[in-house]
């Protein structure tokens, strides 16, 4: 069976450049300019742009069937609230979740705002359509003991000693510094300081932030780098696969899946759960929301405030389990 080609930033970019929407030429051109704006002006991540492309393709495909012809700019301008609601109903009937539908509407609002600012077309009807209410989700954090156990056992399935050191260093970064898996895997050797207790991390939208490095994290990364069988130049990827290329997120995800099965942890124990655990445990230890917001690289404080719900849930669980009044009320 032929091996599936790897998806790289270069191939994603080329896919975006070649995209052709189901739309009249003038609208297709305007959509291409929108994608360029997202990538070069707004500096949206390639994966975010790909998501926007898929959402827009689905909407235009729906419109072609809904209207009975390939849509153009004038057709988008004449859309009524009922047309947008028909799209939402179609998505719901096809089994899409409220979260997915809300994301698609967010994409369309971004698109129509761009069109209006560029004097391409204007349609206020989309503003009259209510987005489905998305259930408020609480980040699934691990307990301190579970997070530490996952980090300590990271090398259980390693085929070589250096791979075990790599996996432990990666999980240490996720839990000890609150990095996203993509942020950690995109680091080069030169991004991680040999000396010093902070580093600069590039997050979503190419926004950079300063992240403190715990001594235990620095020690773990140093051990891994020293053990690597491949040259670790400043421009080399920090986390390497067994063939010397940049470690893929798929391999890292598989490592965590195997590890949580070995430790008996729930399916919510993912690489991102370690980032959630970092924030939750900081908050439990007395960290303030603004500082945690900066450490995580959240653009909005409301995103960080979700962790107060996690902490409240933990406190409620402790109360129910230990407080005499709670036990008497059972």
CA pair distance 191, 201, nearest whole angstrom: 8
Range from 7-16, 58-67, 111-120 carrying the lowest mean pLDDT: 7-16
Q: How confident is the model at residue 132 (pLDDT cuts 50, 70, 90)?
A: confident
pTM for the predicted model, two decimal places: 0.57
Q: How confident is the model at residue 238 (pLDDT cuts 50, 70, 90)?
A: very high
Supply the DSSP symbol for 153: T
220 is written with which tokens?
Answer: 């773990």
Catalytic residues, which ones? 180, 204, 272, 275, 298, 307
Read off the pLDDT of residues 12-71 as tens digits, 9 standing for 90 and up.
Answer: 555 566 678 989 999 999 999 999 999 888 878 777 888 899 999 999 999 999 999 999
How many C-beta neighbours within 10 Å does residue 314 have?
Answer: 16
CB-based contact 173:184 (threshold 8 Å): yes
166 is written with which tokens?
Answer: 């790599």
Residue 5: the pLDDT is: 41
Superfamily (CATH H level) for 144-322: Intergrase catalytic core (1.10.443.10)
Supply the DSSP symbol for 201: E
CATH architecture of 10-128: Orthogonal Bundle (1.10)
Q: Is 118 helix (H, G, I), strand (E, B) or coil?
A: coil
CA pair distance 16, 145, nearest whole angstrom: 43
What is the domain partition of the chain in residue ranges? 10-128, 144-322
Residue 133: the pLDDT is: 77
Range from 11-20, 160-169, 298-307 carrying the lowest mean pLDDT: 298-307
CA pair distance 67, 245, nearest whole angstrom: 48
Please determine, for residue 4, whether its predicted confidence score (pLDDT) is greater than 60: no
CA pair distance 169, 221, nearest whole angstrom: 5
Please determine, for residue 170, whether its predicted confidence score (pLDDT) is greater than 60: yes
In the predicted model, what is the mean pLDDT of residues 299-319?
A: 57
């Amino acid at each position: 069976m032929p091996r599936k080609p790897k998806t790289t930033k270069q191939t994603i970019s080329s896919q975006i450049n070649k995209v052709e929407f189901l739309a009249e030429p003038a609208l297709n051109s305007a959509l291409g300019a929108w994608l360029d704006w997202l990538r070069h002006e707004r500096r949206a991540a390639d994966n975010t742009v790909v998501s926007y492309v898929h959402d827009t393709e689905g909407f235009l495909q729906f419109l072609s069937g809904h209207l009975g012809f390939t849509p153009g700019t004038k057709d988008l301008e004449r859309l009524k609230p009922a047309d947008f609601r028909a799209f939402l109903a179609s998505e719901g009937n096809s089994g899409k979740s409220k979260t997915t539908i809300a994301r698609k509407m967010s994409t369309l609002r971004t698109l129509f705002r761009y069109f209006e600012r560029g004097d391409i077309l204007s349609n206020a009807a989309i503003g009259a359509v209510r987005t489905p209410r998305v259930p408020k989700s609480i980040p699934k954090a691990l307990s301190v003991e579970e997070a530490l156990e996952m980090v300590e056992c990271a090398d259980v399935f390693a085929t070589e000693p250096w791979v075990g050191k790599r996996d432990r260093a990666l999980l240490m970064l996720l839990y000890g510094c609150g990095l996203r898996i993509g942020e950690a895997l995109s680091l080069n050797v030169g991004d991680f300081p040999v000396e010093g207790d902070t580093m600069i991390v590039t997050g979503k939208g190419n926004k950079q932030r300063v992240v403190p490095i715990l001594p235990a994290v620095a020690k773990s990364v140093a051990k891994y780098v020293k053990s690597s069988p491949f040259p670790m130049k400043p421009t080399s990827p920090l986390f390497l696969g067994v063939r010397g290329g940049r470690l893929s997120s798929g391999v890292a995800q598989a490592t965590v899946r195997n590890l949580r099965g070995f430790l008996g942890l729930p399916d919510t124990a993912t690489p991102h759960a370690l980032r959630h655990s970092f924030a939750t445990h900081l908050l439990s230890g007395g960290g303030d929301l603004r500082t945690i917001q900066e450490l995580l690289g959240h653009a909005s404080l409301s995103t960080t405030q979700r962790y107060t719900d996690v902490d409240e849930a933990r406190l409620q669980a402790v109360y129910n389990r230990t407080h005499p009044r709670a036990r008497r009320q059972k």
